[in-house]
A and B are shown apart, each in its own frame.
Chain A
């Protein structure tokens, strides 16, 4: 700004300084004998000086008006009111700067709103989790109390102890998920993005579900180039793919099939995870990624409705996305899109 002002002063002073030359020539130059020419030089020089003076005054006035407008806008924004005389769609430099200031103010407001929303989400998350924790805790307390107070036969005892163990397992799962979710939601989780072999990540994801798949007689086939390198966080991507696979195994009947295929595209690498499970109705495609959402058909099976929510959050943190395509009774395909490139 200072630089500009210095420049402007030197420029505005250059014109009258130059104009003074004919003025002095008109007064003092004896080499110009004609009085009319001398008078003409004097008058034209004086006129240029006058015009330069008026021009400079006008320029100063314009700058003052511009500064007043901008200061007025900033003052209004600081007071939380709409700026007066704001014409963001006027084709002028004042309007352009004013528009940018308003945009900046909006952006600040938006950041504040997002921060409030994040706090609210976290509050809801804690509330959701505590609600989810209540049932297994109550079950553990109830069965423990029965075991302590009543004499039960060995079979009944075993049954109650198994229930307690299952409920404790559910609690443990919920707690683990809570930790992961809170780290994702609060943004404190740092993704370690590196160029890694995607087939290794898929193998890591598969390791968590192989036992259950074998138990249910579900066949698994994988089609992924062994040398395909993709920019991703191995641990968290394996968690995301693992959650989708876990979902697939859970909702695919005995003897079904799960297929994983990888296809490198121009901008993304697509990982399709297809199962031959019960399928999802089209109107629930977005719902299945919501926290604690479970379709009516899935409610009878174990699970809390966090896996897909976590999977989507993890993939989104890596600037990727997940889509779903399904047919009721035939199966579902979840497609994970991981961006190519090391940006």
Chain B
């Protein structure tokens, strides 16, 4: 069963001669519960594609359907709720709030949705990601790998339909990057989540069930 269906997707930025064709006719289906890696050189359209799946951009042409919802038909307010409830984002630079503790950072998406945290699930996630001893620490007190683990926990806490990771290892050294990618894969498998990860590393792409290659805004493999 497919959780993401992309049909004839085009996304152009700007107009006239300076127009950038970030995505130029992408056809893609992603199966529920699988780990998909999107690989490609810089400027190939990877991040644009991920942002379109996350409802951050509207298509110039074509459609993006996530979990049965055509994103182009959602209002701005509905898209906000969609991002809050259906998608877990993991960014390259962690995006943790520096003034909040790790515990507060992880629970932040639930607070925004006025939802009560599930203690058992919280404990499970933090245990798997090795954060139990660091919950009262502030982000700057953790290593890059530790901060990214907190960001992964924050992405998982709402039990979203899909996890979108944009170069999650980009700010980390090779060793930690490899480990964080492994943890991301392991937690996604453990909680039966669909994971889409952007990477330029062929080594990390090996961890995925499927590798999608982008070149000049088109899927080449």
* Bound complex: CA A325 to CA B201 (Å): 12
Q: How large is the interface on B (under 10, 10 to 19, 20 to 34, 35 or more residues)?
A: 35 or more
- Chain B 188-221 residues near chain A, CB threshold 8 A: 190, 192, 202-203, 206-207
- Minimum C-beta distance from B38 to chain A (A): 16
Question: A88, A89, A265, A341 — which one has the most chain B CB atoms within 10 A of its CB?
Answer: A89
User: Across the interface, which residues of B come within 8 angstroms of A286, CB to CB?
Assistant: 206
Contacts of A13 in B (CB 8 A): none
Chain A hits for B149, CB < 8 A = 267
User: How far is B22's CA from A98's CA once the two chains are assembled, in angstroms?
Assistant: 36
Is B26 part of the binding interface, using a Cβ–Cβ cutoff of 8 Å?
no
Q: Please tell me if the beta carbons of A339 and B69 are within 8 angstroms of each other in the complex.
A: no
| A324 beta carbon closer than 8 Å to chain B | yes
Majority secondary structure, A binding face: mixed
In angstroms, Cα B78 to Cα A95, docked, is: 11
**Does A107 contact B182, Cβ atoms closer than 8 Å?**
no
A88 to B68: give the CA distance in the assembly, Å: 10
Within 8 A of B (CB), among A95-135: 95-96, 99, 103, 106-107, 109-110, 113-114
CA A8 to CA B206, docked complex, whole Å = 56
| Minimum Cβ distance to chain B for residue A187 (Å) | 14
A42 at interface by CB-CB < 8 Å: no
- Least CB distance from B147 to A in Å reads 12
CA–CA, A147 to B114, complex, Å?
81
Cross-chain contact A88 with B69 (CB below 8 angstroms): yes
Q: Does A285 contact B (CB under 8 A)?
A: yes
Decide if A337 is an interface residue (CB 8 Å cutoff): yes
For B82, the closest partner residue in chain A by CB is A89
Q: For B62, list chain A residues within 8 Å (CB).
A: none
* Complex CA distance for A114 and B33, rounded to whole angstroms: 10
Q: Contacts of B190 on A, CB cut-off 8 Å?
A: 319
A contact residues, total (Cβ < 8 Å): 34
Query: How many whole Å from B186's CB to the nearest CB in chain A?
Result: 5
Are B182 and A337 within 8 A (Cβ)? Answer: yes
A67-110 contacts to B, CB under 8 A, are 87-91, 95-96, 99, 103, 106-107, 109-110
A266 within 8 A of B: yes
Inter-subunit contact B176/A266 (CB<8 Å) = yes
Q: Is B77 an interface residue (CB 8 A)?
A: yes
Closest Cβ neighbor of A319 among chain B residues:
B186
- Complex CA gap A116/B190 in Å reads 19
B160 (CB) vs chain A CBs: closest residue: A103
- Does B69 lie within 8 Å of A109, measured CB to CB? no
Mark each residue of chain B from 74 to 87: 1 if its CB lies under 8 Å from any CB of chain A, else 0.
10011111100110
> Are the C-beta atoms of B1 and A103 separated by less than 8 Å?
no
Assembled-state Cα–Cα distance A203/B128 (Å): 29
Q: Is B120 an interface residue (CB 8 A)?
A: no
* CB of B136 to closest CB in A, whole Å: 19
Nearest B residue to A109, CB-CB: B1
A292 within 8 A of partner (CB): no
- Which A residues lie at the B interface, using CB under 8 A? 87-91, 95-96, 99, 103, 106-107, 109-110, 113-114, 265-268, 270, 282, 285-286, 319-321, 323-325, 337, 339-341, 343
| Sampled A-B contacts (14; CB under 8 Å) | A88-B82, A89-B69, A89-B74, A91-B78, A96-B85, A114-B33, A266-B179, A267-B149, A267-B182, A267-B183, A286-B206, A319-B190, A323-B207, A343-B128
